[in-house]
Every structure is written in structure tokens, then in C-alpha cells.
Amino acid sequence: MIRSMTGYGAAERVTDQVRIAVEMRSVNNRFFKSNQRLPDGLGAVEVTIERLLRDRISRGTVNLNLTVEPRGAAARAPINKDLLQAYFNDVWEFGSQYPGFEQKDVRVEALLALPGVVGSEQILLTGIKDLPAQIEAVVVEAVERLNAMRDVEGQATARDMAATLSEVERRIAAVEVRVPAVVAEYRTRLLERVQAMLQGIEVTPDDQTLVREVAFFAERSDINEELSRLSSHVSQFRDLLAESGMAGRKLEFVTQEMYREVNTIGSKASDAEISREVVEIKVGVDRLREQSQNIE
């Protein structure tokens, strides 16, 4: 069954050390593309997440947002020990110039308030056990939910496409029924016009000339081959709807071929009823084309 390219999926895991939440949305794209928003310090998992997404999604733009919130002891802010030591050395070196100044006079709490000693934006994540593996598990769960929603939407789209195909087939059948009558009506109109032109003149229409003219019209306006190819494309489109895997590009290509045949039929068929049917067929094909652009 076909799969839509639009959907939403989310997953969350909470332990005594960390809360991991993944939220992702997908929209249409001719190719695959991912946009990831990751917390600072987790750039190393970006490649892994990209691979996980590519393995499960063929087409579409995926916007992923990852939240990692340390809990308990892992939630402490990192301390830049080297910078803290440097500040201590500077204060001690400066204070030792004065009599009575001792190391105990260097207040640690004062040093911790100096710029850069305590991280205020980046949380210490290195103490969380198996953090990359935990993130991968949550991403996999979220993308599975995303694909489940894309499958449901794809099934609904397939049903709607099948209904449109049935309408297109009905219109094609109406054109096929109309084709023989077009030539017969043309012959009648041609004979009437010739007789009207020759009225009062002692000249009779030449049957062979009329036959040649009607035959030329029939050959010039013959659309049976185009109707046959159009019906074949409709059948091919219906078969693709039942296939699993990436069918979006194939469906788009088939709609292009359907457009080609419908346009040819419209230009060759000199009949008002056929023209009306052609307009309705074009509306159906255009609907199929737009929906195909949302299929993976």
C-alpha cells in the first residue's frame, strides 16, 4: 500500500538519569532531507539519527526535534576545573604579596561565580549511561509512529485516487461510445451542406468524393489509439496503488503520460460532447497528479 509523505510522530523515555523526547514532522519533498534540532553537546549522534531516518523514510523532508533533560546527579552543571584552578592561582599569587594573606582566604564560592567556571547552558551529559543508544531507541520509536500515520494517510489517499480512477474510466468509456457516432454525424452534416450549396444547380454530389472526405476526417480525428493507451495508463496507475514501497515518482510519471494522451484526444476529436468529457478527464488526472506528489 502506498505511503503519504506527510505525518507526525513522537516518543519519550524517562529514567532516573534522563528524560529523552523526540518529535518529528514530515512534509513533501522530491528527495529525502532531514532537519535536526539537537541539544548542545550531542552533535555526535546527528549522523546516527540521519542513518536511522534514511533507513526508514525514502522521500520527504523530516523535521526532528530532540530534547534531552538530565535528572538527578546527571543534571549538575559542569565545572571547568582547569579554569577554576587558574583563577585560584591568580588570586593566590596576587594576595600573597600582602602580609597575613593565606590560602584559606581564597573563597571557592567567589571563584565559582567568575565567568566560565560553571556552565550555564550546557548540561553535563557524559555521566548518563548509554545515552547515544537510548536516544537511538527513542528516535526509532518516533519514526515508527510517524510512518504509521503516513501509512494511514496513504491508505486514505489511495481510496480517493481509486475513486477518481473509476470516474476517469467512466468518462473514457463514454468517449469510446461516442467515437463512431462522430464520423456518422460528420458525414450527414457534410452531405447536408453540399446539398444546400448545390440547391438550384443541376449537379449531384459525387459519392466517391464524399467518401474520401469522410474517410479523411475519420483518419484525422481517430482517437482509438490514444484511448487505448489512456486506458492502459489508468490500469497501470491502479496497479501501482496496490504495490508496497516507493511508488510516488512512478505515479507522477504515469499521470504525465495520461495528460499527454488526454491532450491529444482533445485536439483531435472535433466533437462538443467528447470535448466536455475530455475536460472532466483532465480534472481527474490533475487531481491524481497533485495527490501523487504527496506519495513517498
| pLDDT (0 to 100) of residue 86 | 83
Identify the burial level of 247 via C-beta atoms within 10 angstroms of its C-beta, where 0-12 means exposed, 13-18 middle and 19 or more buried. Answer: buried
| pLDDT (0 to 100) of residue 101 | 74
Q: Grid coordinates 585560584 are at which residue?
A: 88
Helices (H), 96-198: 108-112, 131-197
| pLDDT (0 to 100) of residue 54 | 95
Distance CA 71, CA 62 (A): 29
> Is residue 228 within 8 Å of residue 179, measured between CB atoms?
no
Look at domain 7-74+129-151 and name its CATH class. alpha beta
Residues of the chain with pLDDT under 50: 120-122, 198, 203, 214-216, 218-219
| pLDDT (0 to 100) of residue 121 | 43
Strand order in the sheet with 18-27: 7-14, 18-27, 60-70, 32-37
Q: Grid coordinates 501509512 are at which residue?
A: 151
| pLDDT (0 to 100) of residue 242 | 85
Tally helices (H) and strands (E) across the chain: 8, 4
Distance CA 190, CA 213 (A): 9
Sequence-ordered list of residues with C-beta below 8 angstroms from that of 19, at least 6 positions apart, any chain: 12, 13, 67, 68, 69, 71
Identify the burial level of 55 via C-beta atoms within 10 angstroms of its C-beta, where 0-12 means exposed, 13-18 middle and 19 or more buried. Answer: exposed
Give the number of C-alpha atoms closer than 13 A to the C-alpha of residue 208, restricted to the C-beta side: 0
Of 109, 67, 61, 58, residue with least CA distance to 88: 109
DSSP, res 77? P
